[in-house]
Amino acid sequence: MYSQGLIGADGRTAEDQDFLNRFQARIDDEQKIEPNDPMPEGYRRTLVRQIGQHAHSEIVGMLPEGNWITRAPSLRRKASLLAKVQDEGGHGLYLYSAAETLGVSREQMTEELLTGKAKYSSIFNYPTLSWADIGTIGWLVDGAAIMNQIPLCRCSYGPYARAMIRICKEESFHQRQGYEIVMKLAQGSPEQKAMAQESLDRFWQPVLMMFGPPDSESQNTDQSTRWKIKRFTNDELRQKFVDATVPQAEFLGLTIPDPDLKWNEDKQGFDFGPIDWDEFWRVVKGKGPMNRQRVEARQKAWDDGAWVREAALAHAEKRRAMAAE
């Protein structure tokens, strides 16, 4: 995710202190920034990076679950999984459109993804090895996504905030369908319960990593919070997620794989054990279990779709020529 390229950097914006102060005053006043409004180049670039990575995550995120559509255990499960994966594709499309309002094209963003310049969420570089993983992804990955994305509905950039409202509604359905799958397994045979537990064991740490590095290592949080792109820090959201999820696991009769997990009366939240940040950075830098396969799948889809893009352009050109006659 998070393109670090120079997409859209025009280097021409006059950003004297007066301009920056006026912009910050609009942000502090909770005014929404719209595509044609003047904005600092850094604000625009931060949004292109974040929205672009978010869009890529939604699209790449279709792959681990898509892997199970043909193997879903019943027609009902297949229909809801199909709908869920399709929703994620829709989210990617709204988000690419939101990023395009900032002057970057879908082609540029895709190129950055395929060349590895732009990132996507680390979580999608893990494989889905069992049916229980589909439940765990809905329950925990969509659960973490909602925790992170509800505050984005109040992001200062109008098109991103508005896209997030619909996305969050759909994500909450996804979270429930995942929780229901895990619940059925947890209440099923000992083998099914063991499958749910094994999946939770594998996904717990990678899910906590979704919120990004600890605040002390997060280079973007301070500025993004000042611009009200982010409303909470990475650690704050991670803590909220843990506090919301522990009682859900207890209800399911599953054990969160963390011996240090303990209720802390003083902070009214759970303490939890260390996260393997070396693994996080390895995955972010392209060395996760599925990075290569994920990018190859996107490259193939882009290549296979070339004729559609060419046909659509030729059609648009023909219509333009006819209208001009």
Q: Report yes or no: 181 and 244 within 8 Å, Cβ to Cβ.
A: no
Question: Dihedral of CA 93/98/101/104: which sign?
Answer: negative
Q: Take residue 13 and report the two structure tokens written for it.
A: 């914006």
**Cβ atoms of 216 and 202 closer than 8 Å:** no
Of the chain, the end-to-end C-alpha distance in Å amounts to 45
- The pair of structure tokens assigned to 246 is 């522990």
Minimum distance, C-beta of residue 38 to ligand FAQ, in the bound complex (Å): 23
Convert residues 17-56 into a mask of x (bound to ligand FAQ by CB under 6 A) and - (unbound).
Answer: --------------------------------xx--xx--
Least Å from the CB of residue 308 to ligand FAQ: 23
Closest approach of Cβ 81 to ligand FAQ, in Å?
Answer: 11
How many CA within 13 A on the CB side of residue 173? Answer: 12
Binding mask 284-323 for ligand FAQ (x = CB under 6 A): x---------------------------------------
Residues 83-112, interacting with ligand FAQ (CB under 6 A) = 88
Closest-CA residue to 242 (of 264, 215, 219) = 264
Least Å distance between CB 74 and ligand FAQ? Answer: 21
Number of residues that bind ligand FAQ (CB under 6 A): 31
Question: In 3D, which of 122, 172, 156 has the Cα closest to residue 287?
Answer: 122
Nearer to ligand FAQ, 193 or 275 (CB): 275
DSSP string, 232-284: S-HHHHHHHHHHHHHHHHHHHT---S-TT-EEETTTTEEE-----HHHHHHII
Residue closer to ligand FAQ, measured from CB, 142 or 258 = 142
Per-residue binding letters, 114-153, with ligand FAQ (x by CB under 6 A)? -----x-xx--------------x---xx--x--x-----
| Least Å from the CB of residue 281 to ligand FAQ | 8
Question: Which positions from 69 to 88 touch ligand FAQ by CB under 6 A, shown as an x/- string?
Answer: -------------------x
Contact segment (CB under 6 A) with ligand FAQ among 74-82, 205-213, 298-306, 313-321 equals 205-213
Write the Ramachandran bin of 253: left for phi over 0, alpha for psi from -120 to 50, otherwise beta: left
Q: Is 61 in the site for ligand FAQ (CB under 6 A)?
A: yes
Give ∠ CA 107-10-230 in degrees, rounded to 5: 75
CB of 49 to ligand FAQ, least distance (A): 6
C-alpha–C-alpha distance, residues 253 and 209, integer Å = 24
Give CA–CA dist 142/158, Å, rounded: 23
For residue 324, the minimal CB distance to ligand FAQ (Å) is 42
Contact positions with ligand FAQ (CB under 6 A) in 208-267: 209-213, 218-221, 224, 234
User: Smallest gap, in angstroms, from Cβ of residue 78 to ligand FAQ?
Assistant: 17
Q: Which is nearer to ligand FAQ, 197 or 291 (CB)?
A: 291
- DSSP state, residue 157: B
Q: Which residues on neighbouring strands pair with residue 26, listed in sequence order?
A: none
- Residue 145 CB, shortest distance to ligand FAQ, in Å, is 4
**Phi/psi at 157 (5° precision):** -90, 115
Binding site for ligand FAQ (CB under 6 A): 1-2, 4, 49-50, 53-54, 57-58, 61, 88, 119, 121-122, 137, 141-142, 145, 148, 209-213, 218-221, 224, 234, 284
